[in-house]
Amino acid sequence: MTSESAELDGWIDAFGHHYLLRVQYEDTDLGGIVYHANYLKFAERARSACLRLCGIFQENLITADGGHAFVVRRAEIDFAKPAGLGAVLCVTSRVVKSSRLTVKMEQTIKNQETGHILAGVVVDIVYVRIDGVGQASPVRMPASLLDKLLAGQG
């Protein structure tokens, strides 16, 4: 991984993985407020960046050995405050529970400038084998993959 990609993917410390982004015009409604579904997109981008920093490259998983992927089985979101156009947000992600089949992550989306919590997201992620077009079935992830993920949690 190049230093440029590490810069794009955020950083990991004792509190978890941190990912910065700026709210763009396309993220907002007519009033300049972030559309509610986009918080889930922000959380997804942060999870993908977290995996990359842990040495887990989803693009390689999908094409290797018939294909594997992490998919969201369940997501829960709690909205606290709105974000507006131009705001810098920080998504902090941390694994709170894991097994070789599922990973539960908590993610907090904050306004980086004010420190206000905007939303909290809890996701259950399942490791699956891609069986064909649109078909996937849960499988146990290799222990080495889970070890990489947990080692990258600060």
pLDDT given for residue 24 in this prediction = 97
In which domain, by residue range, is 127 found? 3-151
The CATH number given to whatever domain includes residue 111 is: 3.10.129.10
Query: Measured between alpha carbons, how far is residue 96 from residues 28, 57, 93, 102, 105 in Å?
Result: 30, 21, 9, 11, 6
> pLDDT tens across 26-77, in order?
999 999 999 999 999 999 999 999 999 999 999 988 876 679 999 999 999 9
Q: Write the CB contacts of 135 (distance below 8 Å, at least 6 apart in sequence).
A: none
> pLDDT tens across 86-122, in order?
999 999 999 999 999 999 999 999 999 999 999 999 9
Catalytic position from the list 9, 27, 29, 78: 29
Tell me the pLDDT band of 4, cut-offs 50, 70 and 90.
Answer: low
Number of domains the chain contains: 1
DSSP 101: S
Distance CA 72, CA 114 (A): 30
27 is annotated as an active-site residue? no
pTM score, whole prediction: 0.91
With pLDDT > 70 as the criterion, what percentage of the chain qualifies? 93
